[in-house]
Structure 1
Amino acid sequence: MGKVHPLLLSRRDAVPWAYAAAGTAAIVTYLVTSSPARYMLAALVSASVVPAIAVGVTRNKPSSALPWYMFAAAMAPYAAADVIWGLYQVRGDEVPFPGVADMLFLGSYLLLTAGLVTLARQQAGRLHWAGLLDAGIVTLGFAILSWAFIIGPYLRSELSAWPLAVSIAYPATDLMLLSLAARLMLTIGTPTPSFLLCVGWLVILLAADGLYYGTQATTGTAIAEDLSEVGWMLSSLLLGSAALHSSVAQPALPAKNQERLPRRRMSILIALILMGPLIVLANVGGIRGQPVNVTVIVGMMAGLSLLLVLRVAFLAQYAQGRAIALAASLREQTDLQKQLTHQATHDPLTGLANRALLHERLESVLGRCSANSSAGLVMLDLDGFKDVNDTLGHPAGDELLVDVAQRLTGRVRDQDLVARLGGDEFALLVEGVDARTLHDYTTRLLDAFTDPFILAHGYSVHVTTSIGTRSVTKPTTPTEALRDADTALYRAKTAGKNQAAFFESPHQV
């Protein structure tokens, strides 16, 4: 279980506190008095649960009252059995076994089981096999204890068939309650105060039953009977308080990632699995001399081992799923990083490199240029682009820029860098070309604008370009190269457009 809602005292919760105080007073009275009449206090406390649940459901209006009504229906025969048992104690008579009280007790446990099944379906949400396996391991682990200390001794006793069946029915119904309690505790992530009170009711009820029937089975008489009686009274008190608490209307949130196996839970499960071997090794009750009991315990141990293997398999599957999810998340993060990097270094309209990436590549290339390893920088500016924007609109102008980018990239090598500097201005960085080859590049780029551009809606647009070129044959800074190419571009435009100008003529390089 995870976080817990705070148990804050409010006016609305004054009723459950008053109820708890009255019940505590009854328990204290039971402990400090020695009159046989004190046994009727147990009947009074268990009987009070029925109206407490009725009042709690009416006041708090839980989303589903069905499990609480089933608990109330279960506590009615439970209280009746307490009355019968108490009356025998008051009169000093021996309580018949098995008798009507036993039938009422067992019937109430079956109704409590039905109520817990309904509550588990509502509170725990959809079925989680990992949580069910954990609950199965807990139940089977305690079943080994129940067999060793209660059921086994009863089977070795001289009880006849009917008393023996009733004696074994008590721990059997307790195991059913334990299984449901374990499922609830292991599958709820954020318990409410009402839910915690329910857990306390079940834990104390099962502990009191275990103490009473365990000592009765092994010694023939119930040792610390008053302690068990106080436990039963306290458990009834907690159930009534759970119904009266205002948080009964709040659903307990199911635990997330129930496939996880926290270290503390793993330690508990391993301790339960080791319970059987320890009982056999310690020869509890001379069990090693009882082949039937040893066989049963070994069988339960095998079942526990199987459940643990399945649980580990679920854990491995969960870990694999988490690993796959993590890998997918890392891939997504890497893709996003690449996308962000691309957006930071590329023009969003044309997909070409932007000014930042061009400057970065210029620094890398121009710094190692020489007569034997020259490079070229070409700058282009469209002629007549403003007329396209003014007559056809900016969307048509954007479409034209995209088409220009495609034509430029189609006229150069893969290793050449084509960039859009902004507006209708483009640049080209080529490596390993001399001045003559750079002149051929420039001619090829001018030819790229010979054919008109066909835009949407069938518009045919003819634009030309002016080109300024700078050949680099020695280490040069990007700023210098861009300045020189821009100077050449200005010369080309002033010379009449649709032509190229070189900052340096080929025979000067």
Structure 2
Amino acid sequence: MGGAWRPGGTAAWAAYFLLGMVAVVAFVCCPRLVGVVVFALIMGSGVVAAIAGVRRHRPARTAGWWLMIAALAVSMLANTMFAVGYEVYGQAVFGSVVDAVYFVMYGLLIAGLAVVVPRRSWAWTAAELVDAGVVTAGVAAIWWTVVVQPYLHQPGASSGMVGIWMAYAVCDLLILTGLARLIFTTGSRRPASALLTASIFALLTGDVVYFARVGLDGYISVSNLDNVLWLTWAVVFGTASLHPSVAGLGRVRRATRGVRPGRLLAFAGIAFLCPLAVVTGVRFVHRYAASTAWYDTLVPTLLGAIISTLLVVRLGMLARVAQRRAALLDRQAIELTKALRDQETLQRQLTHRALHDPLTGLPNRALLLERLERALARRRETGSPALLLVGLDGFADLNDTLGHEAGDRVLIELSTRLLGLLTESDSLARVGADEFALVLEDPAGTDPALRAAQIMAAGRVPYLQNDREVVVTASIGYRVMDAPLTAAEALRDAGAALRTAKADGRNRIAAFDVELRSSRLDTARLVDDLRRALTDAEFRVHYQPVVDSRTGEVRSLEALLRWTRPDGTSVPPDEFIPAAEDSGLIIPIGAWVLRHATEQATEWHQRFGLSLSVNVSGHQLSDPQFAETIFEALSASGLPPTALILEITETALVAVTGSTATDVHSCLQRLRDHGIRIAIDDFGTGYASLSYLRHLPVDILKIDRSFVRSDGGNAPGPQDHAFIRAILHLSETLRLSTIAEGVETPQQAALLQHMNCHLAQGFLFHRPMTQEAVEHLLAATTSGPEGSAPHGTHLTAA
């Protein structure tokens, strides 16, 4: 893998380098003919090592490496031909086929260095070429002075020999250009890059030494220094190919459009080489040559002009890069400024959203609490502020009947009306789905009760929705903050007053007082006790019989929940049932009663044929799992569905409205389809009794005790008498069974019998009793299934 330096790889390149340099030293010590063979072997080892390294590490731009390997192989061939020719003819032959082979070697090496350079954008390539050109032109000035100029002043130098000499010089300069470009592109920090650079410099140094001596001596010869440098090229090149870091050599390491300060200083130093070359060349001519030629000063001058031009071009590139960077920084500064403005705007929007209601635009609960805190902090200077909490009555029904869009329009219209009632010191907020809060910081100017009445009057004005008028009432609770308290406590107290107003009926106003808080705390403690009672099994189920008033025979049993605290104190149902309703605990408590009562009633049904009646609250009806809870209780106890009657108060049915009413009706129909009977308890006290009977799956009507007892308590009054007859007639028409509740005197029982209402329940017959008392009663009054109530008699429980 590229760049992974494994121990085995490190040993290979290091071992080859050491053996190769030992072989180079051995070459220097060998006789001439043996040296020719050793020279060829060392060059060949470089070729073999390079092939092995490229095949093993697979560097990027592999084609360039194969071209350089081919150049090394051709160099081995050319040097062998040169050495053999020198031994055969006694001197080197200039302008022969050997020079052609050398030029092939140079061409392959130049091409290899060009291909190894990674491809990048045109701008980067131009910068690399200019940088390489500066280096090449500076070195060319030295090359001219040291190598070329002495040869040109030799007597008898032909134009052909000069041309070949210049071709060699150009090839070396092109190799130098390619190497400089590679370094500027990939950097020289990788070991393989440093080794490759060292090998190429060894080759170029060997050429400089060779050509300089030829130019100065006037004849072609080879020294050990030349050969050692060329052999070093082969060995170090092979080492570079074997090094594991060669895998990443063809990858771009950094951008080259910019120039580091060190490179600029180097370029400035190179620019001084041309004047130095001119002075050095003139002194050489005056000392060794007979006369000065035109090219002695012209060529260094041209090279100096080329370097200057390239430096100007490079500075222009840097200026364009600087301009582009400046423009980029300007754009980034503009974008940053815009982003900061957008961020500030977004922050303001988010802050507004976090503190305001998205529908009405009014402040929300968080901002209301902040304003309440400020109002409370100024209480000593401005007087006691007041907080009004406005809750819409039946808003959920409005959403269910007309849709949420209509409900939203009502809320927006109401918020507009309320804003019209504000003074400069007032604050209005929306704190719930159908609740608004009004802070009166100057209650001395407006009495809170009077302001509440104004709000109620404004809210009662009809709203036009879909070409129909909608009237929405409001209940209001308020708290005058005349004592030290926090904003959260003020909101809590106003909420308690609002709940009191709603509990007293719609369209009411309630003020907070200390007793109200105490009541709420008592209710909270009662709810905690209810949770504990359910966990610790403090509840008990009592049963009150329903009898035939003519014979006193028990027809069914009603399950009634009783609660006795651990200290023996009994809690009346009318005290803890409302708390269970409000807290939602009625659902698990009702499920417990259902399981416990059905389990006990199974035996009574099997022995005496009795049915069980269980009361159901409105919260239980609204529970989606209500039907499943009943089916699970019946399945666990074994009580047949036909032996179970569910009693639902008429007020609970009236409270279920909108889409929930549809679900409740479907649930009751499903239960009735399974054989479970439905009874309406406290019939006649609701708001729409007759309309409910048209739609509900009902089997039994239980006449409320208020119709059975007159004000004196002995018998129904004339109006009650008429109501009872109407209910009995309605039941007969709809083929429903009827049971009278609250029968406590013989006169009441006699009157009901006279009206043919024979099923009754009340203290005249039996009070609620324990499980053990029921068993004693049934054993004493019933002889078994054969003596139980006749088939078809509807049995229920109050």
How does the TM-score come out when normalised to structure 2? 0.48
Partner Cα separation in structure 2 for residue 258 and residue 358 of structure 1: 61
Q: Where does the alignment leave 5 or more consecutive residues of structure 1 unmatched?
A: 455-459, 505-509
State the match for 1:507 in structure 2: none
Distance verdict in 2 for CA 1:302–1:189, change over 3 Å: closer
Query: Is 1:126 the equivalent of 2:126?
Result: no
Query: Is 1:313 the equivalent of 2:320?
Result: yes
Q: Deviations over 1:280-334 (max 9, x none)?
A: 2796415698255324413421221221221242244246436645775786688
Query: Is 1:101 the equivalent of 2:95?
Result: no
Distance verdict in 2 for CA 1:89–1:430, change over 3 Å: farther
State the match for 1:78 in structure 2: 75
Higher alpha-carbon deviation: 140-149 or 324-333 = 324-333
Amino acid at match of 2:22: A
Alignment match of 2:41 (pick from 44, 55, 64) = 44
Greater relative CO, 1 or 2 (CA 8 Å, sep 6+): 1
Alignment of 1:5-404 (within 5 A): 5=3, 7-10=5-8, 14-33=11-30, 35=32, 37-38=34-35, 40-61=37-58, 65-88=62-85, 93-120=90-117, 124-127=118-121, 129-130=123-124, 132-150=126-144, 154=148, 157-158=152-153, 159-188=157-186, 194-210=192-208, 212-213=210-211, 226-245=224-243, 248-249=246-247, 252-255=250-253, 259-261=257-259, 265-277=260-272, 279-280=274-275, 284-285=279-280, 290-291=297-298, 293-318=300-325, 320-321=327-328, 324-325=331-332, 328=335, 346-347=353-354, 351=358, 355-360=365-370, 362-363=372-373, 367=377, 379-384=389-394, 404=411
Amino acid at match of 1:172: V
Higher alpha-carbon deviation: 404-413 or 170-179 = 404-413
For residue 146 of structure 1, report the CA deviation from its aligned partner. 1.4
Amino acid at match of 2:144: I
Other structure's SS at 1:234 match = helix
For residue 271 of structure 1, report the CA deviation from its aligned partner. 2.1
For residue 241 of structure 1, report the CA deviation from its aligned partner. 3.2
Higher alpha-carbon deviation: 363-372 or 69-78 = 363-372
Amino acid at match of 2:268: I
Distance verdict in 2 for CA 1:256–1:58, change over 3 Å: closer
Partner Cα separation in structure 2 for residue 403 and residue 228 of structure 1: 102
Other structure's SS at 1:104 match = helix
For residue 192 of structure 1, report the CA deviation from its aligned partner. 6.0
Distance verdict in 2 for CA 1:168–1:259, change over 3 Å: same
Q: Deviations over 1:119-173 (max 9, x none)?
A: 22xxx34326246414522431331231244278625723433322332333433
CA contact (8 A) 2:138 2:273 kept: no
State the match for 2:766 in structure 1: none
Q: Deviations over 1:164-189 (max 9, x none)?
A: 23323334333333333333333337
Higher alpha-carbon deviation: 325-334 or 296-305 = 325-334
Other structure's SS at 1:311 match = helix
Higher alpha-carbon deviation: 67-76 or 282-291 = 282-291
Amino acid at match of 2:301: V
Amino acid at match of 1:74: A
Q: Deviations over 1:86-129 (max 9, x none)?
A: 33555683323343333322221211222233222xxx343262
Partner Cα separation in structure 1 for residue 342 and residue 226 of structure 2: 64
Amino acid at match of 1:114: A
CA contact (8 A) 2:274 2:300 kept: no
Partner Cα separation in structure 1 for residue 46 and residue 57 of structure 2: 16
Higher alpha-carbon deviation: 467-476 or 237-246 = 467-476
Amino acid at match of 1:231: L
For residue 442 of structure 1, report the CA deviation from its aligned partner. 7.5
Distance verdict in 2 for CA 1:494–1:65, change over 3 Å: same
CA contact (8 A) 1:191 1:252 kept: no
Partner Cα separation in structure 2 for residue 165 and residue 383 of structure 1: 110
CA contact (8 A) 1:376 1:471 kept: yes
State the match for 2:666 in structure 1: none
Other structure's SS at 1:94 match = coil
Distance verdict in 2 for CA 1:479–1:233, change over 3 Å: same
Partner Cα separation in structure 2 for residue 441 and residue 285 of structure 1: 112
Q: Greater CA radius of gyration, 1 or 2?
A: 2
Q: Deviations over 1:381-421 (max 9, x none)?
A: 454455689x69xxx879967995797489759x9987665
Partner Cα separation in structure 2 for residue 425 and residue 237 of structure 1: 90
For residue 7 of structure 1, report the CA deviation from its aligned partner. 4.4
Say how many residue pairs are matched.
484
Distance verdict in 2 for CA 1:336–1:408, change over 3 Å: same
Q: Deviations over 1:48-72 (max 9, x none)?
A: 3433344444444556643333223
Distance verdict in 2 for CA 1:494–1:142, change over 3 Å: same
Distance verdict in 2 for CA 1:106–1:423, change over 3 Å: farther
How does the TM-score come out when normalised to structure 1? 0.71
Distance verdict in 2 for CA 1:484–1:8, change over 3 Å: same
Partner Cα separation in structure 2 for residue 449 and residue 224 of structure 1: 118
Partner Cα separation in structure 2 for residue 41 and residue 309 of structure 1: 52
Distance verdict in 2 for CA 1:17–1:449, change over 3 Å: farther
Higher alpha-carbon deviation: 491-500 or 161-170 = 491-500
Amino acid at match of 1:233: L
Amino acid at match of 1:110: G
RMSD over aligned Cα atoms: 5.3
For residue 35 of structure 1, report the CA deviation from its aligned partner. 4.3
Amino acid at match of 1:174: D
Q: Deviations over 1:418-439 (max 9, x none)?
A: 7665665555679999955995
State the match for 1:457 in structure 2: none
Partner Cα separation in structure 2 for residue 226 and residue 37 of structure 1: 14
Q: Deviations over 1:22-79 (max 9, x none)?
A: 3222222134456464355443333334333444444445566433332233223211
CA contact (8 A) 1:189 1:255 kept: yes
Partner Cα separation in structure 1 for residue 65 and residue 164 of structure 2: 27
